[in-house]
Structure 1
Amino acid sequence: MKLKLTLVFLLFCALSLTTTAQVKIGGKKINVGKAVKAATETAKAITLSDADIAKICSEYMEWMDAHNPLTAPDTEYGKRLEKMVGHITEVEGMKVNFGVYEVVDVNAFACGDGSIRICAGLMDVMTDEEVMAVIGHEIGHIVNTDVKDAMKNAYLRSAAVNAAGAFSDTAAKLGDSELGQLADALAGAQFSQKQENAADDYALKFCVQNEIDPYAMSNSLNKLVEMFNSGGEKSSKIQQMFSTHPDSEKRAKRMKEKADQYVANK
């Protein structure tokens, strides 16, 4: 009830006030300007349409590409990527685009607008077929709308941070960049085991369609597990992928069984 009353109050502020001011409710100062923004953003997040999410995803990827070292097409990474995915411009009716961030992270991610980004650290430790399996996995998250749902939740979480800031004397310390807040919120996002398994299944399908070894997905996961267990510098580089892609050992075993089944029925 308290949460509902708070939201009602924030919406009231959004509808009836247009100037920045501070009022006191229950002894706490409320930044009305921040509350207005928080209320409207929270309400919008709840009712985001697919078009809204697509627009947010597009703006987010523009921001990410501007804030990360995106490799040029004529570099070693760029040429290797082109060789792997240059023939793929559309997946199940959705336009896709690829890029490599020249960072040491052993990771990859996808966004709801069809953008797939691979970190150079991942390309350094995996074969082309293993990288393609990972790409297929990330495309699976797009096709299954996992990344759109994650973006919507991240947007809501970033708006919620804004709302919390409205009830604080230190509200000014919060960042004003919504895209920066989205980046933070998405960094903490984690897919469910069901979502990961579905994306793995799509990766196998993707590999078969592109004449790639059906064991590539299980091989890539096993390589991550081996690196993680080995310790040292390589182990530290895959912490991020393990934090967002849990149970890699179980997934590797499951995907080997799936590949065995595919080969047996071929």
Structure 2
Amino acid sequence: MKKKILLALLASAAALTGCANMESLGSDQEVVAAANQSCRQMDQKNTITHQYDGRMAIIRQGLPTQVGGQTLNYQVYKTKDMNAWAMPNGCVRVYSALIDRLNNDEVRAVLGHEIGHVALRHSVQQYRTNRGVAIALSAGGALGSLVGLDGTGSDLMQQVAYSAISAQYSQALETEADNYSVDLLLKEPNGKQKALAMASALKKISTGDADSGIMQKMFGDHPDTSKRIKNVEDRVAAAGNVK
């Protein structure tokens, strides 16, 4: 019975997010304003280092400076973690450990990936999708109480459904951003070599999740590393005579 309820919640969420006026779930201006605030908060919580400014200037040469009407703003955080992210206002943050471990072409490929998130408006899409799913699942909670589920069980099911939908959507966006980086770098001299740096960067960043279990595959924000690497390699191979 609970499985049927979960499927009903998933179906209602998908229907709502597919049919709703997406602008009503958050305008571009609202999302960018939220990103401005969030980026400031992140900068306050982390240590910004200028140790890598010279190297970053070299790495960024030739990459877009503006996408989607937003000027890209880079900073490096001094941290032992390996990560990078971007917000829809053009805020791009790279972690120093990632720069330490990757070569210039690999960092460049990662930057192309993050630029892709901004150019393709992924954060805006994700925000609207998450909000639409939350609204649908909130309505589904009433359905749960009607069929005898207690509040705790119903809440848990909603959280599971919400996580599953959001994670799978995020996986699709990560692949799109990988493709954006590959296509961007293929246009440059030695494009195939530079684009393949996305695959080698993924190998270095990976922490052994390529053979992750079913729960990771279902709920992880990123697709399996092995699949991402194959996608990159296949896309580069399909580019034909590009050097």
User: TM-score under structure 2 normalisation?
Assistant: 0.63
Counterpart in 2 of 1:113?
A: 89
1:228 aligns to 2:208 (yes or no): yes
Moved more, 84-93 or 115-124: 84-93
Counterpart in 2 of 1:197?
A: 175
Percent of aligned pairs with the same residue?
29
1:84 aligns to 2:64 (yes or no): no
Unaligned 5+ segments in structure 1 are 1-44, 159-187, 230-241
Taking the aligned partners of 1:53 and 1:114, their CA distance within structure 2 comes to 12
Q: Work out whether residues 53 and 152 of structure 1, in 8 Å CA contact, stay in contact via their aligned partners in 2.
A: no
Q: Work out whether residues 170 and 221 of structure 2, in 8 Å CA contact, stay in contact via their aligned partners in 1.
A: no
Alignment: residue pair count: 181
Alignment of 1:56-71 (within 5 A): 56-71=34-49
Residue aligned with 1:104, SS: coil
Alignment of 1:40-59 (within 5 A): 47-59=25-37
Q: Work out whether residues 167 and 220 of structure 2, in 8 Å CA contact, stay in contact via their aligned partners in 1.
A: no
| Deviation of the 1:135 alpha carbon | 1.0
| Deviation of the 1:109 alpha carbon | 0.5
Q: Work out whether residues 126 and 170 of structure 2, in 8 Å CA contact, stay in contact via their aligned partners in 1.
A: no
| Deviation of the 1:247 alpha carbon | 0.8
Task: Read off the aligned partner of 2:103 and give its amino acid letter.
Answer: T
Larger Rg: 1
| Deviation of the 1:116 alpha carbon | 0.9
Counterpart in 2 of 1:245?
A: 222
Counterpart in 1 of 2:184?
A: 206
Alignment of 1:91-170 (within 5 A): 91=67, 93-151=69-127
Task: Read off the aligned partner of 1:222 and give its amino acid letter.
Answer: K
Task: Read off the aligned partner of 1:61 and give its amino acid letter.
Answer: C
| Deviation of the 1:48 alpha carbon | 2.2
Q: Work out whether residues 221 and 248 of structure 1, in 8 Å CA contact, stay in contact via their aligned partners in 2.
A: yes
Q: Work out whether residues 133 and 206 of structure 1, in 8 Å CA contact, stay in contact via their aligned partners in 2.
A: no
Taking the aligned partners of 1:246 and 1:150, their CA distance within structure 2 comes to 16
Q: Work out whether residues 150 and 189 of structure 1, in 8 Å CA contact, stay in contact via their aligned partners in 2.
A: no
Taking the aligned partners of 2:104 and 2:220, their CA distance within structure 1 comes to 24
Taking the aligned partners of 2:220 and 2:80, their CA distance within structure 1 comes to 16
| Deviation of the 1:60 alpha carbon | 0.9
Taking the aligned partners of 1:133 and 1:196, their CA distance within structure 2 comes to 13
| Deviation of the 1:265 alpha carbon | 5.5
Q: Work out whether residues 113 and 178 of structure 2, in 8 Å CA contact, stay in contact via their aligned partners in 1.
A: yes
Q: In angstroms, what is the RMSD of aligned CA positions?
A: 3.3
Taking the aligned partners of 1:102 and 1:156, their CA distance within structure 2 comes to 36
| Deviation of the 1:143 alpha carbon | 1.7
Residue aligned with 1:194, SS: helix
Q: 1:47 to 1:246 in 2, by over 3 A?
A: closer
Counterpart in 2 of 1:219?
A: 200
| Deviation of the 1:193 alpha carbon | 2.8
| Deviation of the 1:94 alpha carbon | 3.0
Q: 1:210 to 1:145 in 2, by over 3 A?
A: same
Unaligned 5+ segments in structure 2 are 1-22, 135-165, 210-218
